[in-house]
């Protein structure tokens, strides 16, 4: 399954998505300016950055459709503390947006606190999507290219890792408190 097909499948047929983010906020939870900032350092034209950021933001519509998927996002606390090129107002707005996203009934955000130390999530970001028929796919990010995984053994490995990662994260209410504190620190 290629990148385009994975994105289309996730937009149309998934019932649940688990997403680990250790470097930046997951795309489904980004504000437009944050999305652009994550792409700005790439070898892209301003038009390409705008097109990619716009497409990323449009995908967020799945969270507000009639039957939205369950989205469980686990974010490393360092994501909330990392400056976006000296723009504290951008990070404050992004953190406030995360808080607002938790008002959606099918969105859960958990934060792995900085004092956790080594945990399985440090191996890199990934997404696991469960489709309506129970089939699972995974998207694993890399520096050069992303991989789409559909083999049961690979998915099972990521699901075991996911369970351990969620176990290291704070519960929802504590995560929300930490996100709010991060937002106020960016003033």
CA 110 – CA 112 distance, rounded (Å): 7
**Residues of the domain holding 54:** 3-185
Residue 109: name the closest of 94, 124, 123, 119 by CA: 94
pLDDT value for 180:
98
Output the pLDDT for position 4.
Answer: 46
Over residues 38-65, the pLDDT tens digits come to: 998 888 999 999 999 999 999 999 999 9
Whole-number average pLDDT of the chain: 90
Whether 10 shows a pLDDT value over 70: the answer reads no
Quickly count: other Cβ atoms within 10 Å of residue 139's Cβ: 20
Angle, CA 60 vertex, CA 138 and CA 7 arms, to 5°: 35
Distance CA 9, CA 91 (A): 30
Average pLDDT of the segment spanning 92-105: 97
pLDDT at 41: 80
Cα dihedral 54, 182, 158, 125 sign: positive
Percentage of the chain modeled with pLDDT above 70: 93
Residue 12 pLDDT class (50, 70, 90 cuts): low
For residue 71, give the CATH number of its domain. Answer: 3.30.870.10
**130-134 contacts at long range (C-beta below 8 A, 24 or more positions apart):** 130/14, 130/15, 130/16, 130/17, 131/9, 131/13, 131/14, 131/15, 132/13, 132/14, 132/15
Show contacts of 3-6: CB within 8 Å, 24+ apart.
3/139, 3/146, 3/148, 5/148, 6/129, 6/137, 6/139, 6/148
pLDDT at 13: 61
Confidence (pLDDT) at 1? 47
Predicted local distance difference test score (pLDDT) of residue 58? 96
- Mean pLDDT for 98-107 is 96
pLDDT tier, 146 (very low <50, low <70, confident <90, very high otherwise) = confident
3-class SS shares of the chain: helix, strand, coil, % to 5: 50, 20, 30
Mean pLDDT, range 156-181, rounded to an integer: 96
Rounded percentage of the chain residues whose pLDDT exceeds 90: 73
Question: Among 64, 139, 163, which residue's Cα sits nearest to residue 107?
Answer: 64
Number of domains in the chain: 1
Q: Over 60: is that where the pLDDT of 7 sits?
A: no
**Residue 86 pLDDT grade (very low, low, confident, very high; cuts 50, 70, 90):** confident
The model's pTM is 0.89
Please tell me the distance from the alpha carbon of residue 110 to that of residue 173, in angstroms, as a whole number: 9
Bridge partners of 126, per DSSP, are 20, 140
Residue 5's pLDDT is what?
47
Give dist(CA 88, CA 185) in Å, integer.
9
- Dist. CA 133–CA 34, nearest whole Å: 34
- 131 vs 175, more confident: 175
């Amino acid at each position: 399954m290629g990148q385009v097909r994975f994105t289309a499948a996730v937009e149309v047929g998934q019932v649940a998505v688990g997403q680990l983010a250790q470097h930046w906020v997951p795309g489904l939870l980004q504000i437009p300016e944050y999305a652009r900032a994550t792409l700005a350092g790439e070898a892209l034209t301003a038009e390409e950055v705008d097109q990619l950021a716009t497409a990323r933001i449009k995908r967020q519509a799945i969270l507000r459709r009639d039957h939205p998927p369950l989205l469980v996002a686990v974010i490393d606390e360092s994501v909330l503390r990392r400056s976006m090129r000296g723009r504290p107002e951008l990070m404050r707005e992004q953190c406030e947006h995360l808080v607002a996203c938790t008002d959606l009934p099918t969105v859960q955000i958990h934060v792995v606190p900085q004092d956790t130390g080594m945990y399985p999530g440090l191996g890199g970001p990934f997404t696991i999507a469960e489709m309506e028929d129970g089939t699972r796919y995974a998207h694993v990010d890399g520096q050069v290219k992303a991989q789409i995984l559909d083999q049961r053994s690979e998915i099972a490995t990521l699901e075991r890792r996911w369970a351990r990662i969620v176990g290291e994260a704070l519960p929802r209410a504590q995560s929300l408190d930490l996100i709010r504190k991060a937002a106020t620190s960016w003033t």
